[in-house]
Amino acid sequence: MERLEFGNRDADIVLIQPVDVHDLEVIEREAALIREFTKKDFLLAAFQVHDWNKDLSPWKAPAVFGREDFGEGAGDTLSEILNFCTDKTKNYYIGGYSLAGLFALWAVTRTDVFQGAACASPSLWFPGFEEYVRDHEILTENVYLSLGDREEKARNPVMATVGDRVRAMHALLSDRKVHCTLEWNEGNHFRDSELRSAKAFSWVLLS
């Protein structure tokens, strides 16, 4: 994966975000918003994945829209990210939008490296994910969840379950005493991704 960096490389706060080309179109604005919201110095390390459905999926699953199935490349992606997160003097946070938000939540069941998971409009409709989290410990103290208020009104019947899934996830994490919030944003899944991501990272930074 190619890594692009935004912000101060010497900062002791490092934000990790898997991205695609669409995220990169707005990521500088996202970084500016995080800086505005938190007044903190940080490095935002954007890992550009090559195959979104494969590189961020923890296991194989059939296509939900279009014809492209989901792969099982999340383990390799996380290994590459962890190879970057080796400086013990820094505080690392992981986050992302959509399937990258799901990946961030999955990642904090696999490692305790991250101080928080910023999951903006995460794809919690992903088959088997809620059951997986019920069987695994969350290895971070802070988890942010959000969703657009029209996302559960999607015509796709699988994606329309996302509202119930995110509510259930928030309840599950809260029951486990994880410091967690669920924020509702206006609009569908494709609205204001940089703002939603900035709000997600800002919350975990200030928690």
- pLDDT for the residue numbered 37: 98
- pLDDT for the residue numbered 35: 98
pLDDT band at 189 (very low <50, low <70, confident <90, very high): confident
- pLDDT for the residue numbered 13: 98
Task: Name the pTM for this structure.
Answer: 0.96
Token pair recorded at residue 81: 């990210």
- pLDDT for the residue numbered 106: 98
Is residue 105 within 8 Å of 119, Cβ to Cβ? yes
- pLDDT for the residue numbered 149: 92
> Residues of the chain with pLDDT > 90: what percent?
87
What average pLDDT does this structure show over 79-92?
A: 98
Work out the mean pLDDT of the chain and round it to a whole number. Answer: 95
Place of tokens 């900035």: 198
Q: Is the pLDDT of residue 64 over 80?
A: no
- pLDDT for the residue numbered 195: 97
- pLDDT for the residue numbered 49: 96
Place of tokens 């699988």: 158
- pLDDT for the residue numbered 63: 78
- pLDDT for the residue numbered 156: 82
> CA 171 to CA 180: how far, in whole Å?
9
Q: Is the pLDDT of residue 67 over 90?
A: no
Q: Could you report the per-residue pLDDT of 44-54, keeping only the tens digit for each?
A: 999 999 999 99
- The CATH homologous superfamily for domain 2-206 is Alpha/Beta hydrolase fold, catalytic domain (3.40.50.1820)
